[in-house]
Chain A
Amino acid sequence: MSRIKTFNLPDLGEGLTEGEILAWLVKVGDTIELNQPIVEVETAKAAVEIPAKWAGQVQAIHHPEGATVEVGTPIIAIDTDPGAGPLEAPSTTATPSDDLPTPSAASLAAVEVAPAEGMIEPGLIGGAAPGGRTAVLVGYGPRTTAAKRRPRKGAVPAQAEAPVTPAPVAPQPVTPEPVRNGIGGPVTGGLVLAKPPVRKLAKDLGVDLSTLTGSGPLGSITREDVQQAASGSVAAAEPVAVTSTATSAASFGADREQRIPVKGVRKLTAENMSRSAFTAPHVTEFLTVDVTRAMKALERLRGRREWRDVRVSPLLLVAKAVLLAVKRHPMVNSTWAGDEIVVKEYVNLGIAAATERGLIVPNVKDAGRLSLRELADALNGLVQTAKSGRTSPADMSGGTLTITNVGVFGVDTGTPILPPGESAILAFGAVREMPWVHKGKVKARQVTTLGLSFDHRIIDGELGSKFLRDIGDFLADPEAALLAWT
């Protein structure tokens, strides 16, 4: 047993993990008595004085005042026999805490104490690593950060330099003990176990409980046993077929889970969507529109010579519809700024794009000033840039209103979430041939559903509905809308 004893900071109050050293009441070289206050420590619960665990001479103080120390960390070393002459070599005295009771080998709570070299100034006696296990500080669990699990039999050793040949362990079947009745010895013949409601049922049905063999816990008689007996089908209850191997083999643990770090575009998307969803009160409205005329107009457009080299998609018409509708309802192109609403005269039209990096929303700057051809070129360029992963941050900032083209994924519509700072976003669904009433008859028509989410702080139902209706009107009859509005 060493004469140098190291005192580790204990858990001073039921589950604490650390404490702050407020003041040392002793210094190196002081002679101290048992239970003499040596240090004042403040924890989350209380500021307390710690009395010395041993009498002797203070050999080392490991942490200055003001330091925050984890529970289980050495804070002071005491020479318990300072009169016995010079100290032995460090290598033979370096077993702090060896005065504590030796923990039983089977102690579950056994913990490896973190090596203490780093804590103690080099060269000081008592500074060597505790190395092996030490007794657990009584309380609620030692520091988990330094805890190492005891090696399991047959487990691959964690440290390569210390290989352990796992001893083969034969699986030991658990032999169930004889059934007992919980408070006494084994159930004997004369005793019939059944709950009072079951006894009542048996009495009502005229079943003699003593003639039955119970299928319940501890051989007790269940409601089903009584009912079977009463209905005459006293055949032995068939064991319930349980595919136990299948069930037990199915693992629902980490080996069948994948963990993906949240970073980059995913992280940004998550932050933006949560922020928007929980700050802007969203309203979503839907409108189903017959776009047959618009599709025909697109065809005519594609047939024109000056549009020959341009990719023309339904999204172009939707974008045009949105831009024209914004002119008629400028309030939808705005930002909620807390104590004021910023209505913008320019429209930076965002287009949500699915890329390999994730969802990005580049925007066409000042889209409202562009001709249809310029708009088409801009949209195409924006999509190409996004697909190739070269979208710049400038392309993605400053958006004022967004279209998300969920139709390309074959779905009808959605309830989009506003990009932060914007007040309206339009979901454009798939264009499908559907039975539709056209001029009094049901005909196959090309139909789509529009979904518009808007910020109700700025846009009331009336404005939102008019805006959506105008987009729908344009898509229903583009030529007429253009004539009427421009």
Chain B
Amino acid sequence: MAKGDPGGTTRSRRAAPRSKKGATGDPELVQLLTPEGERIDSATGPDGTEYRVDFTDEEYRGLYRDLVLVRKLDAEATALQRQGELGLWASLLGQEAAQVGSGRALRTQDMAFPTYREHGVLYCRGIDPIMPLGLFRGVDQGGWDPNEFKFNMYTIVIGAQTLHATGYAMGITMDGKVGTDDGEAAIAYFGDGATSQGDVNEAFVWASVFNAPLVFFCQNNQYAISEPLERQTRVPLYQRAAGFGFPGVRVDGNDVLASYAVTRTALDNARHGQGPSLIEAYTYRMGAHTTSDDPTRYRIASEVESWQAKDPILRVKAFLEKQQIADAAFFAEVDEQARREAVHLRERVLTMPDPEPVTMFDNVYPNGSPLLDEQRAQFNSYMESFEGSAH
């Protein structure tokens, strides 16, 4: 609202700023590495928190390797879907920094609750990247042990995992595992579209009033499938946290350093008993929502191009080169490793055995149930009715 605007009297309250730039391009973005690869020593969040990182050269190179590998494996999975080897794939292209930054910020004891797109976080948790491919190929349920890796199963229902995470985090408090440096915290991943879901808003309420050690990590990739952000919110998403009574911060989601710093701070606050917080990682989904849609039908090319200039990997590479932290041999070696791992991934996907149909009855109940046993027996006799059946 411009000064002296005679009609502005009713909208002059400062509590709810509705600047035009708010939902689309916020100047209050926490950033530690510019798209050109320039390092920023420290950045200040809206509540005055100082964010900074102090990595060794080895750690910088490690982050770069993570980003490249995660992107390559994701591209291989997309290709495998196009070749008929996966039923579906939700690509993370463009969101590598948000995922690797937050994923590396997790401590061993922290529990993560992903959507179906968190392949980068999954990689950082040490889970074999083949695991989600079995899920999307339809031959298993994913296969990793959520308790062993502290990484829950992929959740397809939009936003549901935020409630699971809230319950888990409340449990951490009840177990008395907060308040110390080695306390535990949980992190819930979701997207901008999920913020319109009732589940997510309920999770905000519960986490807030129970002071749960939980970080809400929203990857705002600008589109809920085809619906743009302005159809989801009238205020920047991170500002919603204020209404629920906990802090919110917007970070450059294409900046792996800032994503790391903001997440690490939020997790540490949570584990020390400071309660929940919301991180809005401002990023862009460079590909389709999943392999089943066509983003050119709802996005314009110039918008995609403007985000290509903010690529999360190129800026790290530029930084490493300028600072002479890595040389051409290193980049070539990383590329070669990525290529090798992609080929390895492909080979393993192609040899995944089709499950016996009857195994669908396994793992429904730990000790079975009469109804299920009956169905299994019926199904078995049905299968035996075919010629050449092994039974």
Contacts and interface: CB of A to CB of B under 8 A. Distances in A.
Chain B binds chain A = yes
Nearest to B339: A34
A184 B138 contact: no
A174 B366 CA distance: 22
Interface stretch (B63-71, B168-176, B227-235, B375-383): B375-383
A218 interface: yes
Contacts of A137: 84
Interface of A: 7-14, 34-35, 45-51, 53, 99-101, 103-108, 135-140, 150-153, 155, 164, 169, 172, 174-177, 179-180, 182-185, 217-218
A101 B83 contact: no
B292 A176 contact: no
19 contacts: A11-B84, A12-B81, A13-B292, A14-B292, A48-B82, A100-B350, A101-B350, A101-B353, A104-B354, A104-B355, A106-B386, A138-B85, A138-B138, A153-B384, A153-B389, A155-B387, A172-B381, A183-B367, A185-B367
B357 interface: yes
Contact of A51 (B79, B291, B351): B79
Contact of A183 (B87, B365, B374, B390): B365
B306 interface: no
Contacts of A172: 381, 384
Interface residues of B, number: 49
Given A12-B291, A51-B83, A105 B368 contact: no
Contacts of A153: 384-387, 389
B354 A176 contact: no
A106 B390 CA distance: 7
B381 to A, nearest CB: 6
B79 A140 contact: no
Contacts of B138: 138-139
* Nearest 5 interchain pairs by C-beta: A10-B84, A46-B294, A13-B292, A137-B84, A139-B87
Interface in B275-319: 288, 291-294, 296-297
A150 B83 contact: no
Nearest to A54: B83
Given A139-B84, A174-B378, A176-B374, A183 B366 contact: yes
Nearest to A50: B82
Contact of B367 (A11, A101, A184): A184
Given A137-B84, A140-B87, A13 B367 contact: no
Contact of B389 (A47, A99, A105, A174): A105
Nearest to B86: A138
B353 A106 contact: no
Given A138-B87, A180-B368, A48 B354 contact: no
Contact of B369 (A35, A99, A136, A180): A180
Contacts of A217: 370
B373 interface: yes
B137 interface: yes
A183 B357 CA distance: 23
A403 to B, nearest CB: 59
B294 A182 contact: no
A151 B370 contact: no
A153 B87 CA distance: 32
Contacts of A101: 350-354
B357 to A, nearest CB: 5
A105 to B, nearest CB: 6
A105 B365 CA distance: 27
B385 A14 contact: no
A155 B378 CA distance: 19
A23 B370 CA distance: 55
B377 A174 contact: yes
B357 A108 contact: yes
A218 B369 CA distance: 10
B390 to A, nearest CB: 6
Interface string B87-130: 11000000000000000000000000000000000000000000
Nearest to B292: A13
A136 B137 CA distance: 11
A153 B85 CA distance: 31
Contact of A45 (B292, B369, B377, B378): B292
A177 B82 contact: no
A319 B115 CA distance: 77
A90 B162 CA distance: 58
B367 A106 contact: no
Given A51-B79, A153-B385, A172-B381, A14 B88 contact: yes
Contacts of B365: 182-183
B148 interface: no
Contacts of B357: 106-108
B361 to A, nearest CB: 12
A229 B369 CA distance: 29
A174 B87 contact: no
B373 A49 contact: no
A140 B86 CA distance: 11
Contacts of B377: 174-177
B62 to A, nearest CB: 27
Given A46-B288, A46-B292, A51 B82 contact: yes
A463 B367 CA distance: 77
B388 interface: yes
A8 B352 CA distance: 19
A243 B83 CA distance: 54
B200 to A, nearest CB: 25
Nearest to A39: B82
B181 interface: no
Contacts of B391: 106
Contacts of B373: 176-177, 180
Given A106-B389, A174-B381, A184-B367, 4 more contacts: A10-B82, A46-B288, A101-B351, A180-B370
A177 B373 CA distance: 7
Nearest to A46: B294
B58 interface: no
Interface string B120-150: 0000000000000000011000000000000
